[in-house]
Amino acid sequence: MDGGTDVERAGSRAAALVEQVFALVDETRAAVLAAAAPRRAAGLRRVDLARLRPLITGHLERYARLLAGTGVVVAPGVLVDAPAWLEWWRRTPGGDVVFLDVDLDPDSDDYYDFTDAPWFTGPERTGERAVVGPYVDHGGTDEYVVTLTAPLVVDGAFLGVVGADLRLRELERVLGPVLAGLAGPAALVNGDGRVMVSTTPRWLAGSLLPATSLRALRISRCAGLPWRVAAAAPA
């Protein structure tokens, strides 16, 4: 058995990359749940999340270019010493590891309201992982990213999400060569048909492939993801 068609194999590679990142996210989640469990009566504090910093920044070191950032986003009203909180660390394009400092004051001009972001509301409503984007994360990292998140639930209560931002340009770097191995023009597209990685200038990253075009292509879904690999049949 040769492991499926070429598009299926490319789709598996994309799914495998995402699973690697979710494995890191799951490590962080386990650590948050371990910190939350004994605090149930007294309540969770920022300092409890601050203890996760070595783990979180360690992930950034391990996946230096792929991860634009990773950490924990706490739902409003969960922490006893802050109305909302992000224990989120970024690795800047220059290589510095910095704390993502966003404005959490609802009355401020630059208020970063994450509570209606799909990467937050998805896990909140469905209890499932979310894979969101690519999108411009203005007010947060200001980069073009794909965000992976998983819900944090303790005793049925939603505490927030853990997640990671992948730089789209790094997805291009890793998966571009995979797609280049396919016969004919090929692209990795998200659930809306938006091109993420492509081997042809005809399908620019960020643009939408219409459903009619997709129907004419060989498609493989990426397991567990709303993504697809699409390739034109060889001439």
Partner 1 sequence: MSQVPATARHAVFAPLEGGGRTDAVVRRLGEAVSLGLLADGEQLPAESDLSASLGVSTVTLREALATLREQGVVETRRGRRGGSFVRSPADPSTRRLRERLRETTPDELRDLGDVHRAVAGTAALLAAERAGPEEARRLAQHAGRLSTATSAARRRRADGRFHVEVAAAAQSPRLTRQEMELQAEVGELLWLPAGGALDAAEGGRQHAEIAAAIGRGDGPTARTLAEEHVLHGVEHLVALHLRLVRPG
Residues near partner 1 (CB under 8 A) are 109, 118, 134-136, 138, 142-144, 192-194, 206-208
Q: Name the minimum Å distance from CB 203 to partner 1.
A: 12
Select 88 or 112, whichever has its Cβ closest to partner 1: 112
Q: Name the minimum Å distance from CB 207 to partner 1.
A: 6
Element at 69 (helix H, strand E):
strand 67-74
Select 114 or 144, whichever has its Cβ closest to partner 1: 144
Q: Name the minimum Å distance from CB 103 to partner 1.
A: 12
DSSP state of 48: H
Element at 90 (helix H, strand E):
strand 85-91
Q: Name the minimum Å distance from CB 183 to partner 1.
A: 28
Select 2 or 192, whichever has its Cβ closest to partner 1: 192
Q: Name the minimum Å distance from CB 78 to partner 1.
A: 26
Q: Name the minimum Å distance from CB 55 to partner 1.
A: 28
Q: Name the minimum Å distance from CB 86 to partner 1.
A: 20
The answer to whether residues 86 and 72 touch, using CB atoms and an 8 Å cutoff, is yes
Select 11 or 134, whichever has its Cβ closest to partner 1: 134
The secondary structure of 97-166 as a DSSP string is EEE---B--TTSTTB--GGGSHHHHHHHHHSS-EEEEEEE-TTTT-SEEEEEEEEEEETTEEEEEEEEEE
In angstroms, rounded to a whole number, what is the distance separating the alpha carbons of residues 41 and 25?
A: 26
Select 90 or 194, whichever has its Cβ closest to partner 1: 194
Select 28 or 190, whichever has its Cβ closest to partner 1: 190
Distance spanning both ends of the chain, measured CA to CA: 26
Residue with tokens 């049925």: 156
Establish how many alpha carbons lie within 13 A of residue 87's alpha carbon, considering only the half-sphere containing its beta carbon: 25
List the one residue out of 72, 97, 91, 69 whose CA is nearest residue 82.
72
Amino acid at 198: S
Counted residue by residue, the chain has a size of 235
Select 29 or 167, whichever has its Cβ closest to partner 1: 167
